[in-house]
Structure formats: structure tokens, C-alpha cells
Amino acid sequence: MSSSDDIGEAPWAARAPRHSLTVSVLAAAAEHTDCTFSKLALAGRVNLEKLFGGTRYEPGTGADPMAIKRGRLFEEILKKDDYAELLNLLYEQDAALGALGADVRIARLRDLSVPAGRSGLEVRAEATRRELAKIARRDWDASTLLDGAVIRARIGGEVAYFEADGLAAASNGSLHVVEAKSFPLIDGRCDPVKLGAACAQAGLYAALVRAQLREDGLPSEAVSDTGFIVLPKNTRLGRPVLLRQNLSFHIRRAERLLSLAHLDEAVVQRIEGRSFPAAGTGAAERIEGLSHLMDQAGTHYRPECLEHCAAAKLCRERAYKAGRLAILGDQASREMSGVETFDRALDLAAGADPLDHERESARELVRARRLYRRALKGAGP
């Protein structure tokens, strides 16, 4: 998915390298709604991949060109003969298109002419808005499939246009998000991490459409919690298969992210005088500047951040040096709720007086230390 936007740079990101907002970017940001640093980067549209490039904290190499090519080939298969394969899959589900019979209408929004002085995404966003209104109102000429839908949204005080890779399938007044991915389904199984990422993107698209409908005074429940992920049946891009998914969790998380996209005044005041480094700054100076900004804004590292955030390697190192329990993951954090550092955990295990929010964890730590010492004695010579 891609975006085009009205530039209105945040002061803390005025010189930093920027990226276009995409649903992939939002899906990654949705994993970090509890991290103020991540929210700053999102609101300022800061390209963290470029800022960390050339440093020892540089993230992975990005998308595989072969995977991109494979995705385009799979999309061509789905579009062949007026989406015949996709329509057959949806009919088989008896959920998305069954109520419409043979009366299928495809809105080809990519084929719209663009008047002088207008952007293609802007024109398609207006057309998408009209098509969504028809679906929500159950008009007789409502489209069945939207090809090239674009949703307008405001992120961090700026306007962005989000283009759907997938298609929206309408049925009986409801709209189902369809996300096409080229990773294979083999023997009824696929990569669970990639499937989760696909569902997260579909959930974000559904949340954006619901927000658009609410803005237009239309019922947001027209967007179904049920979405469809379309995959090739094997590694050779065989016949597509369709996985029906409940997107309610991903939609709720996406809506929470969109509500947090506007920074409150307290966050801005906290970082006053600090900003993201400029694009041409040296590697050492960039890392120093990013570290200072993390100090001011605050971070929330978890091991899962390594999959989604370009700042994760630096954040992990900082969490390790500070002795934060978060580096052990969510399970350890839950089991030692209220305890933030290893040093504090050791003190509580040794009998230090706990604060009110540490009492339950302190009891378990004392018990664990007692059991550990007993085990050591039993293992002695």
C-alpha cells in the first residue's frame, strides 16, 4: 500500500528523513502503541530505517525483491478474467458474495482519469468514498469489488492517502476486506507470522474504512469483522485458496493506534529542545541524538520489537544496560508485575520491603529464592 500526503512537518522531525505512510508502516506502529518514541516517529513520519542505516544498529535489509515479484505475479493471477478465481473463492465461502447472485460489479478505481492539478490518489479517494457510501446504504448499483481503493485519513495532523493492495468484497450491505499475499499454503498450513502480519494489515484497512464511514455519517458496522486472506496453494503459485479470518482483535488494535496518532501536549513538551537527527548527520552523532530523544520521550522495549521497529537494536541495548526485565519478554513481565529491573527483583527476593504494586511479585520472588537455595543444597556433595 502506498500513500501521498500534504506535507506539514512536525518541528521535532523537520530535518529527519521522511517516509510515506503506508498500511505496512501503520501495521508495524500498531505493535508499539505503548512506546512514546515510536509514536513520535509515526507522527513525524520519520524514516528510522534511514536514520539507523550505516550504523551498528542497522535493521534488516528490507523486502526481498523476489518476494515482491512473486506478489505481483500472484496479483495478476487473481485479476485474470475479471477476477474469476477470486470470485469463485468468495462464492464458495457463501459469505461475501452469495447474496448478490451473478450481479457482480467491479469498480476499477485505478482506471479513473485524473484532472490537471489533482493527484491520482486524491481522485481515487473521492471515488472510493462514493462507492463505500453506496455499499453502506445498500444501493442497487453498489460495487461488489473495489479495485484500487484509496482511503483518506489524518495521521499526526497531516493528511495521508492509503491504497489497498487487496480488494473489498461487498455483500448484502456489508464489506469484507480481502488481502492477497503470495506466501504459500502447503498441506493446509502457512507461516503463522506472515499470516498474522497479513491480518494486521487487513485489520488496519478495515479500521480506516470504518473511520471514513463514521466521518460521512454512515454506519461503520457495514465493515465486517470477517476478512479474507488469499494465498497460493503451493510454492508454484498454484490455484489460490482463501482463508476466512476474524479480524476483530486487529481492528480494535488499529483503531487504538489511529486514536493515538495525534500526540498530546504533554508528550510534545517532554521533548522540547530535542529532535530527530538530520539525514546527513554522521552515524555516531545520529545514534547520540536518537538516544537523547529516547531518554526524553521514553521507550517500551519487548523482544517482539525486533520484528517491527527499526530502532529495536538500540532500544534492546539500552534496556539491557539498564537491567530492565522487559528484555525477557511479556511472560516474564507478567509474572513479575510491577518489578522493572533485575536489581529490584534480586532485592525483593532477598527480603527488601516491597511497594504496594510489588507485593504479589515480591512474595513469588521470595518463594522462588527459597526453592532455588533448597535445590542447591540438595545438589551438593
All cell numbers assigned to 303: 523482544
Considering the domain architecture, whether residues 156 and 69 belong to the same structural domain is answered as yes
Where do runs of H (alpha helix) occur along 233-282?
A: 248-260, 265-270
Spatial separation of the C-alpha atoms in residues 118 and 115, rounded to whole Å: 6
51 is a domain residue: no
All cell numbers assigned to 155: 495521521
pTM: 0.71
Spatial separation of the C-alpha atoms in residues 171 and 323, rounded to whole Å: 53
Considering the domain architecture, whether residues 234 and 340 belong to the same structural domain is answered as no
The alpha carbon of residue 275 and the mean position of all alpha carbons in its chain are separated, in whole angstroms, by: 24
Decide if 8 contacts 158 (C-beta within 8 A).
yes
All cell numbers assigned to 307: 520484528
**Domain boundary residue among 254, 277, 309?**
254
Decide if 251 contacts 235 (C-beta within 8 A).
no
Rounded to the nearest 5 percent, the helix, strand and coil shares of the chain are 50, 15, 35
Spatial separation of the C-alpha atoms in residues 4 and 251, rounded to whole Å: 23
293 is a domain residue: no
**Domain boundary residue among 209, 235, 254?**
254
Q: Return the ∠ at Cα 327 (arms to 323 and 328), rounded to 5°.
A: 110
**Domain boundary residue among 254, 270, 295?**
254
82 is a domain residue: yes
242 is a domain residue: yes
21 is a domain residue: no
Considering the domain architecture, whether residues 69 and 189 belong to the same structural domain is answered as yes
275 is a domain residue: no
239 is a domain residue: yes
All cell numbers assigned to 10: 512536525
pLDDT attached to residue 269: 62
Q: Which amino acid is at 136?
A: A
pLDDT attached to residue 127: 92
287 is a domain residue: no
pLDDT in tens, the chain (381 residues): 444 444 345 677 778 888 777 777 777 777 777 788 888 888 778 888 889 988 899 887 555 667 677 778 888 888 888 888 888 888 777 655 555 555 788 888 888 888 876 788 889 999 999 999 998 888 888 888 888 889 888 776 667 788 876 677 777 668 889 888 888 888 888 888 888 888 988 998 999 999 999 999 999 989 999 999 999 888 777 788 888 999 999 998 888 777 655 555 666 666 766 788 887 888 899 999 999 989 888 888 888 888 778 888 999 999 989 888 888 877 777 788 888 888 888 888 888 888 888 888 888 888 988 888 888 877 655
Report DSSP state, residue 31.
Answer: G
Spatial separation of the C-alpha atoms in residues 155 and 42, rounded to whole Å: 8
Spatial separation of the C-alpha atoms in residues 66 and 70, rounded to whole Å: 6
Cβ-based neighbours of 110, under 8 Å, separated by 6 or more: 124, 147, 148
Spatial separation of the C-alpha atoms in residues 49 and 312, rounded to whole Å: 11
Spatial separation of the C-alpha atoms in residues 61 and 190, rounded to whole Å: 23
Q: How many domains does the chain have?
A: 2
pLDDT attached to residue 4: 43
Spatial separation of the C-alpha atoms in residues 284 and 317, rounded to whole Å: 15
Provide the domain limits for residue 335: 331-378
Decide if 91 contacts 117 (C-beta within 8 A).
no
All cell numbers assigned to 293: 530523544
Considering the domain architecture, whether residues 246 and 370 belong to the same structural domain is answered as no
pLDDT attached to residue 314: 93
Considering the domain architecture, whether residues 239 and 337 belong to the same structural domain is answered as no
Decide if 59 contacts 313 (C-beta within 8 A).
yes
